[in-house]
Amino acid sequence: MALDAKTLFLPVLEEVNESAWREFESKYRAYKVRGGNEPMRSLLAPGVILLLEVYLPGEDLTAVSNNKLAEAFEGLYAPKNRTDTMARLKAIRMSANSAWAVGEVATYVSEFRAVVKRAVADALPSNRKLVHQFLSNVRPVGLQDELRLIKM
């Protein structure tokens, strides 16, 4: 790997935890948009590779695709049961003094959808509980009231 401006800003996954994975994934996507071409597997610290050897037995990690790696990490950090899913959804909040800011609403919706999308099938609460949880953390309360009035 040649040392140039692109390689100076390569994202590297150095820790094995969900927040490190989410940060790396985001930075890696940005790196690819800027024209980066290093495969994800070459940007993993040795400790991360050790975990993957256990989690993906028999997989040739020198040739594993970006999609396969992303699936492996998503599987590691996906909510595994309804209680875990609900706890993650409850943690997503809009600020109490939000003034119907479109950006904040979009962020809230995006984060909520991401947790639901990552949950394994058996870990999803009923649609009714999902809707209730979604609405309970919408702010300001006026927006929450408007959404509750929509017929579903």
Given a cut of 90, whether residue 117 has pLDDT beyond it is: yes
Same-domain pairing of 54 and 100: no
pLDDT at 65: 94
Q: What is the pTM of this model?
A: 0.74
Which of 47, 77, 107 corresponds to the end of one domain? Answer: 77
Q: Are residues 42 and 95 in the same domain?
A: no
Number of domains in the chain: 2
35: left (phi over 0), alpha (psi -120 to 50) or beta: left
Of 49, 77, 105, which marks where a domain is finished? 77
Same-domain status, 94 and 73 = no
The residue-averaged pLDDT of 35-56 equals: 92
Residues 93 and 41 in one domain: no
3 in a structural domain: no
Q: For residue 125, give its domain range.
A: 82-149
Q: With H, G, I as helix, E, B as strand and everything else as coil, classify residue 44.
A: strand
Do 71 and 101 sit in the same domain of this protein?
no
| Residue 142 counted as domain residue | yes
Which of the listed residues 77, 96, 130 is the one where a domain comes to its end?
77
Whether the predicted pLDDT of 98 surpasses 70: no
> Can you tell me the distance from the alpha carbon of 17 to that of 111, in angstroms, rounded to the nearest whole number?
18
Given a cut of 90, whether residue 49 has pLDDT beyond it is yes
Instruction: State CA 2 to chain mean position distance.
Output: 31
Residues 62 and 94 in one domain: no
Whose tokens are 């950006």? That residue is: 103
Same domain, 30 and 69: yes
Whole-number Å distance between alpha carbons of 87 and 67: 27
